[in-house]
Amino acid sequence: MSSSRVIQGAATRHPSTGLVHQHVIDDEIAQVRRAHEAAGVAELQPRLDYAPYRSSLLRHPTKDLHHADPEGVELWAPCFGERDVDPLEADLTIQGGGEPIGERMVVTGRVLDGDGRPVRRQLVEVWQANAGGRYVHKRDQHPAPLDPNFTGVGRCITDDQGRYRFTTIKPGPYPWRNHHNAWRPAHIHFSLFGTDFTQRLVTQMYFPGDPLFALDPIYQSIVDPKARERLVATYDHDLTQHEWATGYRWDVVLTGGHRTPLEGDLDVERGEDEEAGR
């Protein structure tokens, strides 16, 4: 191997972590973007094998899916009923003995089908990091404080108009081990259940104007910019409450051409892989 090639290879990785630098990821993201634009093919969901998102290359499906008997799955799956969900579970700021630290906010929106019709009585669950970017998870050990008054989990049932509503704290960004000095944009995970357990869908909601968008390979794995925007909430000043909370709106579309990008296509990065084990 030539000396120039050795020097070039060393320059791509940080000497202390052995992880590639951000500029390597940026170049890969740009290369994928150029190829997508040249192809001119609509691609509205996350790629399963997106090279800048390192673990997706190891974990994406490589074989055809097997059809499972829905009745057999339901025999072993959790059972959810409306009586299991307390309305207070939608307020993530009242879970401890005091107020959690951070920017209090209200997040609301509608769950819709592909024709714009409300999806009623849908179980919506959320989980998120605290204001310091820390999850209540045994594998999350990066040096940010835990908040004793914030667990970061909540749930609710959509009403007859498909509306959901949560009161929570704005999550902070946090580091992960995809590459050196990698940070995830602030986001909230959403899980939605249909009429049975096999219809569970998981996605993420982001906040407008985050400077980490361009640097994040998970967000960028949705190569179409308009599709990526569907994951970004809108600040709503009418929803914002005087001296109490900021307000954000975000709708989830489950089917059709304007479907919200989902983690059934996107990889779940929290808890199971290197992000939780940083």
Catalytic annotation, residues: 135, 174, 184, 187, 189
CB 45 within 8 A of CB 261: yes
CB 227 within 8 A of CB 47: no
CB 171 within 8 A of CB 184: no
The residue among 35, 171, 163, 193 whose CA lies nearest residue 93 is 171
Q: Distance between CA atoms of 179 and 271, rounded to whole angstroms? A: 17
Output the six-digit token pair for 159: 């009403």
CB 25 within 8 A of CB 52: yes
What contacts 183, CB < 8 A, 6 or more positions away? 173, 174, 175, 176, 212, 215, 216
In degrees, rounded to 5, the angle at the alpha carbon of residue 14 between the alpha carbons of residues 8 and 20 is 70
What contacts 189, CB < 8 A, 6 or more positions away? 126, 127, 128, 202, 203, 204, 270
Encode 94-121: b = buried (16+ Cβ within 10 Å), e = exposed: ebeeeebebebbbbbbbbbeeeeebbee
**Summary count for the chain: helices (H), strands (E):** 6, 11
